[in-house]
Amino acid sequence: MERYLMYLRKSRMDTDFDEISVEETLNRHRRILESFCKERRLNVVDVLEEVVSGESLSSRPKMLRLLELVNTGMYAGVICIDIERLSRGSSLESGYIMQVLQTNNCKIITPSKIYDLQNESDEQFTDMKFMFSRYELKTITKRLVRGRNQSASEGKFLGSVAPYGYRAYKLVGMKGNSLRIEPKEAKVVRMIFDMYGKQGIGYNTIAHELNQMNIPSLTGTWGQTSITNILNNEVYLGMIRWKHEPTKRVVKDGMLTKKRVTSKDYELYEGLHEPIIDQEQWDRVKAVQSSRNHASVHKDKKLMNPFATILFCEKCGAVMKRNVPAKTQNTSPWYRCPTRGCNCRTIKCDFLEAEVVKAMSQWWGEYTIKIKEDKVAQTDSTETALSIVREQLTELQLQQDKICEYLEKGIYTIEMFTKRNDTLTREIHKVQAAENELLKKQGAQKDIHDVEKEIIPTTQHILDSYPQLSVEEKNRLWKIVMERITAYRTPGGEVSIHIYPKLPMR
């Protein structure tokens, strides 16, 4: 008995224009599809349901799972309320979804139509439906952005999580949300502003003291970042900060994804909510921050740390600091982890530097051996495979030309031609997919070789000339060849050091 998958999706974006809730809509779609499947006697073995925008495939775990299941070749079709539920994203992602369904001979089944992607007219119609879905998504997005911009200018809160010290609530008699002060947390916010602005206590010390008082933050424990975010957020002045962290679309691993970026050119509007602090407290904090920033700039300061910005504590992930002993101390410089509570002990700078060079030398020896073994073999095997695949593709295309001749000469009937042509088309698609994979592999090998052209001579230069290099040169060269270095010294005194070169081991 043929097996089918059911897919249900609703975007929360649509709720801005639809009075029916997301849950109600999904339940209604499920009932329609269950009735349809019962009537057609379709054997649905799994139902995948999610509430997410159809714009980005990377943010749709259920759709990714559906494509994994379809790739097993065990399913005859995917059932959905409408074809646009599958994708509203880029043509790249829509094309990928279609390719997976088409390759596995998996139909798209809706109550209004069954789409067989092996059929050329259905394939073209599906392409058109996806194109119209993308256009509709862009129209909805424009309306949504326009509405959100208007709401921000009216002082409404648009975030998904209320800042510490506030709770979001639905405005009465109008659309949108605002913020209500949470008294206990607001007291902590005022204390943070006073500790920094009046008492001059630093971010890390404030975080440590709050943790010592067992005061939970939004994430559980306080850290430098959470304190900094509070001290730099105008929401506590009664303002709404808009476009501070806009979404940027990027392509990663062949998929369109989104990431948040912090912008300095954000907009501020008078909020509908009450402020927690006054202007005087805010200005005091800004003055302290400004004085500390100026004090930390030393244009003529000489770099003394060869691992600046690339050496991290293996235990907690913090950037390790280089400390110099006072004139009265009879000892050499050391590295320490700045995180309060981390049990990583200090490590002598000379010892750590020698161990890193030793680890790099060992890694370099193993890497150069692998280069000699793999370089020619990988290139030859890829070229050979490409040659074979292209020969298969040429042969299949010749066969396709030949059956066209047979049809013209009357040797093949239309039915015979269609059947044979469908088989050849499927084979050509499979071989083309294999060719694309090999081309990607060839491109990846070329990318590695291009990176090696810079990193290999740089690594050799470091190992050959390390004692003669200045600290500035060491730091510059380490940053070229190294992603990061981690170090940890246990309370018992055992030291572990790990290096992460930019070229992975072959």
On the question of pLDDT at 147 being above 70, the answer is yes
For the chain, percent helix, then strand, then coil, each to nearest 5? Answer: 55, 15, 30
Q: How far apart are the C-alpha atoms of 469 and 391, rounded to whole Å? A: 54
φ, ψ for residue 270 (rounded to 5)? Answer: -65, 120
DSSP 8-class letter at 157 = B
Dihedral class, residue 271 (left if φ above 0, else alpha if ψ from -120 to 50, else beta): beta
In terms of DSSP H, where are the helices of 71-202?
A: 91-103, 120-153, 183-197
Question: What six digits make up the tokens of 468?
Answer: 């003669």
Neighbours of 384 (CB within 10 A): 11
Averaged confidence pLDDT in the chain: 81
Residue 469 neighbours by CB under 8 Å, 6+ apart: 462, 477
Which is more confident, 492 or 301? 492
On the question of pLDDT at 284 being above 80, the answer is yes
Tell me the β-bridge partners of 47. 6
Confidence of residue 377 (pLDDT cuts 50, 70, 90): very low
Confidence of residue 449 (pLDDT cuts 50, 70, 90): low
On the question of pLDDT at 494 being above 50, the answer is yes
Contact (Cβ atoms closer than 8 angstroms) between residue 236 and residue 164? no
On the question of pLDDT at 498 being above 90, the answer is yes
Which is more confident, 130 or 192? 192
Q: Which helix (DSSP H) or strand (DSSP E) does residue 489 occupy?
A: strand 482-489
Question: What six digits make up the tokens of 309?
Answer: 């910005």
Could you give all domains of the chain from N- to C-terminal order, each with its CATH number? 4-148 (3.40.50.1390), 166-295 (3.90.1750.20), 351-501 (no CATH)
On the question of pLDDT at 183 being above 80, the answer is yes
**pLDDT by residue (tens digit) across 212-244?**
888 888 888 888 888 998 999 999 999 988 877
On the question of pLDDT at 299 being above 90, the answer is no
Q: How far apart are the C-alpha atoms of 442 and 1, rounded to whole Å? A: 42
On the question of pLDDT at 18 being above 50, the answer is no
pTM above 0.75, yes or no: no
Dihedral class, residue 234 (left if φ above 0, else alpha if ψ from -120 to 50, else beta): alpha
- What is each CA distance from 410 to 228, 419, 423, in whole angstroms? 80, 15, 20
**pLDDT by residue (tens digit) across 400-419?**
788 887 777 778 787 887 88
Question: Residue 502: its pLDDT value, please?
Answer: 80
Q: How far apart are the C-alpha atoms of 259 and 160, rounded to whole Å? A: 16
Mean pLDDT along residues 458-478: 88
Terminal C-alpha separation, the chain: 46
In terms of DSSP H, where are the helices of 168-278?
A: 183-197, 203-212, 224-231
Question: Residue 441: its pLDDT value, please?
Answer: 63
Question: Residue 428: its pLDDT value, please?
Answer: 83
Question: Residue 297: its pLDDT value, please?
Answer: 47
Question: Residue 19: its pLDDT value, please?
Answer: 44
Confidence of residue 352 (pLDDT cuts 50, 70, 90): very high
CA angle 179, 180, 186 (to 5 degrees): 110
**pLDDT by residue (tens digit) across 21-72?**
677 888 899 999 999 999 999 999 999 998 876 567 777 889 889 999 999 9
Question: Residue 37: its pLDDT value, please?
Answer: 93
Question: What six digits make up the tokens of 269?
Answer: 């509007």
Q: What's the sign of the alpha-carbon dihedral 206, 208, 211, 217?
A: positive
DSSP 8-class letter at 319 = B
Question: Residue 382: its pLDDT value, please?
Answer: 59
